[in-house]
Amino acid sequence: MSKSPIRNPFENALLKTDRIRLSLFTEDKTDLLFNHMFASIPNDGEIRQLMRAKFEKSLAEDSSLLFLIYNEDDDFIGYIELKDLNDIPEIGLDLAEKFRNKGYGYEVCKLLL
């Protein structure tokens, strides 16, 4: 299954609840996403380069989708990735520390499912 048929239903879809909104990841949001990812790791350029390369490779694959998560105040709070859509799907979720244990993760997964 190629990414285009997977992405198409989500291109203009409004995925939201009272507390969250999901936005399909686009390349213009790369810096926002990487700033979030790098916030919790040491400032080691080599590690960050390796992570960025690995992540960019996964974004280019045809078997995954990534959504940015925004809260009710329209603040970016994390991301969710649907992986291995050609095989046994997996969900990867990462929320900023201050938004964990508040039900956002459950709400995001329930919305996507």
Looking at per-residue pLDDT, the higher value among 56 and 92 belongs to 92
Specify the pTM.
0.78
Q: How far apart are CA 36 and CA 79, in angstroms?
A: 9
What SS3 class is residue 11?
helix
What pLDDT is recorded for position 52?
Answer: 75
Q: Which of 7, 22, 24 is nearest to 105 (CA)?
A: 22
Spell out the residues 6+ positions from residue 12 whose beta carbon is closer than 8 angstroms to its own: none
pLDDT at 1: 41
Q: Residue 90 contacts by C-beta under 8 Å, 6 or more apart in sequence?
A: 82, 83, 84
pLDDT of 55-89, one tens digit each? Answer: 777 667 677 788 899 999 999 999 998 887 777 88
Q: Tens digit of pLDDT for each residue in 11-51?
A: 767 799 999 999 888 777 877 877 777 676 666 678 778 87
Q: What is the CA radius of gyration of the chain?
A: 14
